[in-house]
């Protein structure tokens, strides 16, 4: 095992731990990585491993992941902004964005597997609402690292990747289910029964540090911090990660204030926006049927998370509070309009989630929350598959097991063990 130049510090009580670990022994707060290097000194390479000093794996790999940051002309003009930069975290070779599954989930998957592998954990289980499954499946195949991925059946048709699947990926689909929260719960149980480590979601520091590289790329490209960071969120993990990275950048002497977080959700399913606007906690188990009915109606399904890390110390609410942040509820119609505007003004097709972010930027400019000369980073977290399909044959990931959540007893899971995880 290699020794790595970072440890974990609890954002609640300050306890410190050796990695890897998901929970503090003393409280419920998120653990955060504390990297030995406090200077911002990117290495000379085009991908996110340029920020190796501030992400957990100590080794890099050659898969071309990372954000492409450029100054906007077209969209900036259309919105009346003089200092707008776009961080494009999808697949668009014309601007140097080569993320293999077309979203910033690629930044989470590869660093996570390298990190756990360095610490002797040789397989993982995780849940996904869609894009995470694509990214982790692709990474698993490239790195030959076994993963079990649990998804609601509703997500399966979207799960294609630009390489043929191998035995490294085991997909479990929850039949007649459209609820990511159920997938999270069942993944935790299957992992416990089979003895496979849980990837950890927002609690996994490799995931957060990987996502944080979008704003690090902004800092490297423009040698500054933005005044505003604009992103569509489901869990808000990318927002927490960005807040954490900007604290590191300030400590390193770059910038003089934390960027304000502008976080958007797709109406009518907007739990974080509702909680933040009303000052109430999120209650994932209240009115579940109504929540699921709202989830049905949104275009950006990857944003549908009933159990985001909002109230937890070190989570989304703390990030919004610390940065004087704002949240937005964006309708499907507004998001589609913003996608059209982005295509016309920037020439690139973006996905439903990124369209929600673009629409919220428009909203923030109209209401004066963002002034025309402010420095803005719009995070395009993923694009439509159009450009990937032009360059690659896309392969579906076929579920190895389709099962109703009610039928997932411990005994049934054990009966399926060899089929699900022959490598155990």
Ligand X SMILES: *Cc1c(COP(=O)(O)O)cnc(C)c1O
Interface ranges with ligand X (CB under 6 A): 103, 105, 131, 232-239, 302-303, 351, 353-354, 381-382
- Would you say 50 and 63 are in contact if contact means Cβ atoms under 8 Å apart? no
Task: State both tokens at 15.
Answer: 């306890």
Task: State both tokens at 293.
Answer: 């009915």
Q: Which residue's CB is nearer to ligand X, number 354 or number 421?
A: 354
Q: Which residue's CB is nearer to ligand X, number 83 or number 383?
A: 383
Cα–Cα distance for residue pair 138/161, rounded to 1 Å: 6
- Would you say 85 and 356 are in contact if contact means Cβ atoms under 8 Å apart? no
Q: Which residue's CB is nearer to ligand X, number 149 or number 408?
A: 149
Query: What length is written for the chain?
Result: 424
Cα–Cα distance for residue pair 252/159, rounded to 1 Å: 40
**Which is it for the CA torsion 218, 221, 224, 228, positive or negative?**
negative
Cα–Cα distance for residue pair 401/77, rounded to 1 Å: 50
CB of 132 to ligand X, least distance (A): 7
CB of 315 to ligand X, least distance (A): 12
CA quadruple 231, 333, 72, 221: dihedral, nearest 10: 20
Which residues make Cβ contacts (< 8 Å) with residue 258, sequence separation at least 6?
A: 225, 243, 246, 247, 250, 322, 323
Peptide linkage before 268 cis (omega within 30 of 0): yes
The alpha carbon of residue 378 and the mean position of all alpha carbons in its chain are separated, in whole angstroms, by 15
CB of 173 to ligand X, least distance (A): 19
Q: Which residue's CB is nearer to ligand X, number 87 or number 353?
A: 353
Q: Which residue's CB is nearer to ligand X, number 72 or number 235?
A: 235
CB of 382 to ligand X, least distance (A): 3
CB of 308 to ligand X, least distance (A): 7
Cα–Cα distance for residue pair 70/92, rounded to 1 Å: 13
Cα–Cα distance for residue pair 90/192, rounded to 1 Å: 33
User: Which value, in Å, is the radius of gyration of the alpha carbons in the chain?
Assistant: 20
Among candidate residues 112, 68, 119, the one with its CA nearest the CA of residue 90: 68
Q: Which residue's CB is nearer to ligand X, number 57 or number 234?
A: 234
What strands lie across the sheet with 6-10, from one edge to the other? 16-17, 6-10, 31-35
Q: Which residue's CB is nearer to ligand X, number 105 or number 203?
A: 105
CB of 240 to ligand X, least distance (A): 8
CB of 2 to ligand X, least distance (A): 28
Q: Which residue's CB is nearer to ligand X, number 182 or number 360?
A: 360
CB of 424 to ligand X, least distance (A): 29
Q: Which residue's CB is nearer to ligand X, number 200 or number 382?
A: 382
- Three-state DSSP class for 396? strand
302 to each of 32, 77, 187, 230, 382, how far by Cα in Å? 25, 29, 17, 17, 10
- Would you say 227 and 259 are in contact if contact means Cβ atoms under 8 Å apart? yes
CB of 380 to ligand X, least distance (A): 8
Q: Which residue's CB is nearer to ligand X, number 282 or number 302?
A: 302
CB of 104 to ligand X, least distance (A): 6
Task: State both tokens at 364.
Answer: 């923030």
């Amino acid at each position: 095992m290699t020794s790595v130049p970072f440890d974990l510090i609890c954002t609640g009580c300050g306890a410190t731990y050796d990695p890897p670990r998901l929970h503090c022994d003393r409280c419920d707060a998120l653990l955060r990585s504390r990297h030995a290097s406090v200077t911002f000194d990117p290495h000379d390479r085009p991908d996110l491993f340029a920020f190796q000093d501030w992400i957990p794996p100590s080794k890099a790999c050659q898969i071309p992941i990372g954000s492409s940051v450029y100054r906007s002309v077209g969209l900036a003009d259309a919105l009346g902004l003089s200092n707008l930069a776009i961080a494009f975290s999808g697949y668009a070779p014309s601007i140097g964005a080569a993320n293999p599954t077309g979203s910033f989930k690629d930044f989470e998957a590869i660093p996570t597997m390298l990190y756990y592998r360095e610490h002797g954990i040789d397989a993982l289980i995780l849940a996904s609402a869609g894009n995470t499954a694509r990214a982790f499946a692709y990474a698993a195949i490239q790195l030959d690292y076994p993963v079990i991925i649990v998804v609601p059946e509703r997500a399966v048709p979207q799960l294609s990747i630009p390489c043929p699947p191998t035995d490294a990926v085991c997909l479990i689909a929850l039949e007649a289910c459209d609820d990511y929260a159920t997938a999270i719960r069942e993944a935790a149980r299957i992992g416990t029964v089979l003895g496979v480590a849980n990837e950890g979601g927002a609690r996994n520091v490799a995931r957060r540090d990987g996502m944080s590289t979008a704003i690090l790329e902004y800092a490297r490209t423009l040698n500054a911090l933005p005044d505003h960071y604009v992103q569509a969120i489901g869990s808000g993990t990318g927002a927490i990660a960005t807040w954490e990275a900007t604290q590191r950048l300030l400590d390193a002497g770059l910038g003089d204030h934390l960027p304000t977080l502008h976080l958007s959700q797709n109406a009518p399913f907007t739990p974080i926006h509702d909680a933040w606007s009303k000052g109430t906690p999120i209650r994932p188990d209240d009115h579940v049927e109504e929540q699921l009915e709202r989830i049905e109606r949104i275009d950006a399904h990857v944003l549908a998370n009933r159990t985001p890390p909002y109230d937890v110390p070190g989570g989304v609410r703390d990030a919004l509070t610390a940065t004087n942040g704002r949240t937005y509820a964006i309708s499907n119609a507004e998001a589609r309009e913003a996608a059209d505007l982005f295509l016309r003004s920037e020439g690139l097709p973006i996905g439903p989630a990124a369209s929600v972010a673009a629409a919220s930027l428009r909203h923030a400019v109209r209401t004066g929350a963002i002034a025309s000369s402010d420095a803005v980073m719009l995070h395009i977290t993923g694009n439509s598959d159009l450009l990937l399909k032009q360059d690659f044959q896309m392969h579906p990931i076929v579920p190895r097991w389709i099962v109703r959540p009610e039928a997932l007893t411990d005994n049934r899971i054990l009966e399926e063990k060899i089929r699900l995880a022959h490598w155990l």
